[in-house]
Amino acid sequence: MSLLVICDHDRGTLAEASLEALAFGRPLAILAGLEMTAVVIGEGAEQAAVDLAAHGASTVHVASHELLTDFGPEAWGETVAQLVRASGTTVVLACGTDRGNEVVAHVAARLDQPFVANCRSVEPDAGDWTMTRVQWGGSLLEDVKLTADVVLVTVAHHVVEPALADVPAAGVVTSFRPDLDAALARTVVIDRVVLTRGVTLATAPVVVGGGRGVGSAEAFGPLEELADLLGGVVGCSRAVTNNGWRPHSDQVGQTGTRIAPEIYIASGISGAIQHWVGAMAARNILAINTDSEANMVARAGHAVIGDLHQVIPAIIEEIRRRRG
């Protein structure tokens, strides 16, 4: 009986997030008295399988088929469902990335089993398992009880850090050939478009955020100038994207981007919970707000109370002055 970890890879390069799932799965497998196995799917899978023993997989199933040319949620889900049936797997685990959640949802639909997405903790039990999962993008937690023949879960991204196993496992590689209908190829990636971008919102060391308080698209000029001076980028709230002042790719929050900069300068943003969940991983937060009672001010480490249209130009001027 085994706990199977679905390991994602991009044309042979193992996804970091899968290492989180393996790190989460190791103690869980021990608690549940299961062997931890892994599956890697499609072209490049063999290459991606190399490190899995060191991360604790006793068996690594390498699934290949001529339809598995690239990522395809339906084909991957069907492959895992067949492997579960063929291998005595009682628990399936993946990391709760876009792909992880999507593939497990397909497995669940095919096995007609419940699927608990984005867990922070999972407690095995002889009867019903219990888990604590993320709701509202992290603003709320839900404890659930699960009645299932096969336990299907994802662990929320970034809940655990990737870590090598204390003792490497055998990592015996076995090949698995699923029986796939040609129709499943209808949702395999057929093309990729690469966009070369500079610093992205998700990885920028400095994010200068603007909310409704900025007032217009044009008024973001000084925020961009400050971001440029600090080697950062501009972010914004949903009020801003809804007004069409900035593109959605700048939005921070539950339905936008999660940021983790050294500092987030949040100006004219009230700090609604859906915005906050996207910003809370910032190491430092400076709020600039006319309202000293604003939620963003209460949650920030530092704040300036005042009109951002005066404060931001003054900061720019001060930086220029010190640089000479």
Partner 1 sequence: MRILVCVKRVPAPGARINVTADGMAVDSAHLGFTTSPHEECAVEEAVRLVGEHGGEVTVMTLGPAAAEEQLRYAASVGADRFVLVPISEVDWDPQRTAAALAGSIADVESVDGAFDLVLFGNESADAGGFQVGVRVAHALGRPVVNGIKGVDIADGVASARREVDGGFEVYELPLPAVLGVKEGINLPRYPTMKGRLASKKAEVAVDERSVEVGGQVRVRLHRPVETVSETVILGTGPEAAPAVVDLLEELGLLP
Ligand X SMILES: Cc1cc2nc3c(=O)[nH]c(=O)nc-3n(C[C@H](O)[C@H](O)[C@H](O)COP(=O)(O)OP(=O)(O)OC[C@H]3O[C@@H](n4cnc5c(N)ncnc54)[C@H](O)[C@@H]3O)c2cc1C
Q: Write out the residues near ligand X by the rule CB under 6 A.
A: 211-213, 237-240, 251-256, 267-270, 272, 274-275, 278, 288-291, 294, 307-309
Q: Which two tokens stand for residue 177?
A: 């050939």
CB of 229 to ligand X, least distance (A): 20
- Of 24 and 276, nearer to ligand X (C-beta) is 276
Q: Which two tokens stand for residue 274?
A: 């859906």
- Of 64 and 97, nearer to ligand X (C-beta) is 97
Three-state DSSP class for 124?
coil
Task: Determine the Cα–Cα distance for residues 134 and 226; give it in Å rounded to an integer.
Answer: 35
Three-state DSSP class for 28?
helix
CB of 179 to ligand X, least distance (A): 41
Residues 227-286, interacting with partner 1 (CB under 8 A)? 230-231, 238, 241-242, 244, 247-249, 251, 254-256, 262-263, 270-274, 284, 286
CB of 95 to ligand X, least distance (A): 21
118 — alpha (psi -120 to 50), left (phi > 0) or beta?
A: left
- Of 174 and 292, nearer to partner 1 (C-beta) is 292
Three-state DSSP class for 295?
helix
Residues 103-162, interacting with partner 1 (CB under 8 A)? 105-106, 108-110, 113-118, 130, 134-148, 154
- Of 89 and 270, nearer to ligand X (C-beta) is 270
190 scored as a contact of partner 1 (CB under 8 A): yes
Partner from partner 1, ligand X, none contacting 310, C-beta within 5 to 8 A by type: partner 1
CB of 43 to partner 1, least distance (A): 15
- Of 72 and 253, nearer to ligand X (C-beta) is 253
Partner from partner 1, ligand X, none contacting 60, C-beta within 5 to 8 A by type: none
Is the alpha carbon torsion for 223, 228, 230, 233 positive or negative?
positive
Three-state DSSP class for 321?
helix
- Of 25 and 72, nearer to partner 1 (C-beta) is 72
- Of 44 and 209, nearer to ligand X (C-beta) is 209
CA angle, 240 then 306 then 204, to 5°:
50
CB of 254 to partner 1, least distance (A): 7
CB of 138 to partner 1, least distance (A): 7
CB 47 within 8 A of CB 10: no
DSSP 214: G
Q: Which residues pair with 176 in a beta bridge?
A: 63
CB 163 within 8 A of CB 110: no
CB of 218 to ligand X, least distance (A): 14
- Of 111 and 308, nearer to ligand X (C-beta) is 308
DSSP 262-281: SEEEEES----HHHHHHHTT
Task: Determine the Cα–Cα distance for residues 63 and 208; give it in Å rounded to an integer.
Answer: 45
Partner from ligand X, partner 1, none contacting 7, C-beta within 5 to 8 A by type: none
CB of 312 to partner 1, least distance (A): 9
Task: Determine the Cα–Cα distance for residues 38 and 42; give it in Å rounded to an integer.
Answer: 14
